[in-house]
Copies of this chain bind each other. A is one copy, B any other.
Amino acid sequence: MAKSEAKELFKEFKIQSVSEFFRRNAAMLGYTGKVRSLTTIIHEAVTNALDACEEAGILPYVRVEIEELGKEHYKIIVEDNGPGIPEKFITHVFGKMLAGTKAHRNIQSRGQQGIGISGAVMFAQMTSGKATRVITSTGDDVTLEAWVMIDVDKNEGKVVRKIRHKNREGWRGTRIEMEVKDVRYIRSKQGPYWYLKLTAIANPHAHIELIEPDGKLIVFPRGSEEIPDPPEEMKPHPRGVITDDIFRMAKKTRRNSIKRFLVGEFSRISDQKVDEIVRYMAALRLIKSVEEDKKREQLYERLANGDVKLILKGFGKRGKAVLRETSKIMEKPPEKLTWHEAEEIIEAFKYIKFLAPPTSGLRPIGDENIERGLVNILSPEFVTSLTRPPKVYRGGIPFQVEVGLAFGGNLTGFDILRYANRVPLLFDAGSCVTTSAVKSVEWKRYKVDNLEDAPLVVFVNVISVHVPYTSTGKQSIASESEIYEEIRLALMEAGRRLKRYLSGKHKKLHQVKRRKTLEKYVNEVAQALSILIEKPPEEIRTHFVNLIERRFEEAAQSEGGA
């Protein structure tokens, strides 16, 4: 009976495509709620536009149009001046999930997985039944117009209609038009207007426009003409990899020895470092062979102290033999690397001091640009910002934190603007490390008495090749302790600056008041003195006024500006 049972049960066995999976679980991609779903679509399109411009070294121009076609029914148009998409990649870019230019490279970019824009095309198709219209040109003599749909069962894009136009004006860029239902446009803090506003703050080099459903045009103008450097691919750091990474990389590399593989495909591994790795591998082999527990533990401790050469010596001839063995590993072709050897290499990595990973690939926004962005869009009375030096988390993944503070002026209340690689995070604030770090700071120390009511905006941008998001929706950053600490340190420094400004402001207000009081008495005092010392009151008055002027000028200078 059971046998036929098993056969029976397995008749139902089927393979799902990844599109089908995300169709059933669209919420995991951010398609949950009518407002958020609309924002997610715009986020995906704008993210792609900005990434493409950055990679191609183009100052971005992004235009978003939202047309209302009916109740909870919109056409969304996003146009950019990016590098354009070659014809043969159109179905893959817009119709195939897990396909893209970023996932397999170690670069800092807004998008990563190659799911986003295909997800948007799928959501449009799921709700309106319509294909996404793509108009693109790489700047050559053809502009391509294509209507793309997703074959969900196969996770494949298909062009249902295609027209080639002559590109007379040399236009270059991409325009996509999606028809979507069951979404809603409102000007809330989770809607497209706010999303684009926050995007503009963190991307002052971008010109961003929005046409709202009622026809209103909103322009977030470019605040800087500097093109950010294109992202740079970074080799993994020895401390940021696990055995399986090395093992899989070794199977795929084209280098001809394990040594060349290690030196060529990791950062901070030189020929000398390979010798060190070999010594540590040998020492570890020898230590493991020691039977007496106490002695073994002592040797481990000495190894941790860097006594590797002495330990090898201590094993005499056997030490030399094992060292020869381990150094032979390095000469093998990489595909011959065994799992066990990969484990030994990873174990050796833990004992060896490496330089911190290179951070040349990280692309902060920069202090000036953050301040420009905040001033440009929020018009505060005071602004400051700073970029911390790059750090690593989990031992080997580089990241960097930038913060900004904007205070007073047009601001009316407290807010945290959260970003990851310049992308605004609008949802799941509660579980985000930026929120907990901001809340952990003792703002009272910095003259902000009642945080929740203060006219203060806190800007936090976490950049990394691998931002540790808490879920597929990418709206919240995990609480890695190193990231938490960096945000706190940055905010404390910015807080001190705010305090200086507020102290100065308080003093100035105080002095203006004192000066007014003094001046009020000058006339009376001058009158009285003129009788006593027999000089004309005008002269005495002028003397006093000059005295007061000088006194306050000195005071202002000795304190420095705010």
Contacts and interface: CB of A to CB of B under 8 A. Distances in A.
Interface of A: 1-3, 5-7, 9-10, 12-18, 20-21, 24-25, 27-28, 52, 55-58, 83-86, 89, 92, 96, 98-105, 113-114, 125-127, 129-130, 138-140, 152, 172, 182, 242-244, 247-248, 339-340, 342-343, 470-473, 478
Nearest to A152: B248
Given A2-B56, A139-B2, A243-B129, A98 B10 contact: no
Contact of A25 (B85, B104, B472): B472
A342 B101 contact: no
12 contacts: A2-B58, A2-B83, A9-B55, A9-B56, A13-B89, A13-B100, A14-B100, A14-B104, A16-B113, A18-B21, A127-B243, A129-B243
A113 B248 contact: no
Given A5-B56, A472-B472, A339 B18 contact: no
Which of A1, A3, A24, A102 has the largest number of chain B CB atoms within 10 A? Answer: A3
Nearest to A473: B471
A99 B152 contact: no
Given A104-B16, A472-B28, A21 B113 contact: yes
A75 to B, nearest CB: 16
A558 to B, nearest CB: 53
A98 B242 contact: no
Contacts of A103: 14, 16, 21, 24
Nearest to A96: B15
Given A9-B56, A129-B342, 7 more contacts: A9-B52, A9-B83, A10-B86, A15-B99, A21-B98, A21-B113, A28-B471
B138 A7 contact: yes
A27 B263 CA distance: 30
Contacts of A104: 12, 14, 16
Contacts of A18: 18, 21, 98
A58 B129 CA distance: 44
Contacts of A84: 2-3, 6
Nearest to A103: B16
A556 B7 CA distance: 60
Contacts of A127: 242-244
B138 A83 contact: no
Nearest to A126: B244
Contacts of A9: 52, 55-56, 83, 101
A10 B89 contact: yes
Contacts of A100: 13-14, 16
B101 A13 contact: yes
Nearest to A17: B98
A345 to B, nearest CB: 13
Contacts of A130: 339
A427 to B, nearest CB: 12
A290 to B, nearest CB: 16
Nearest to A57: B5
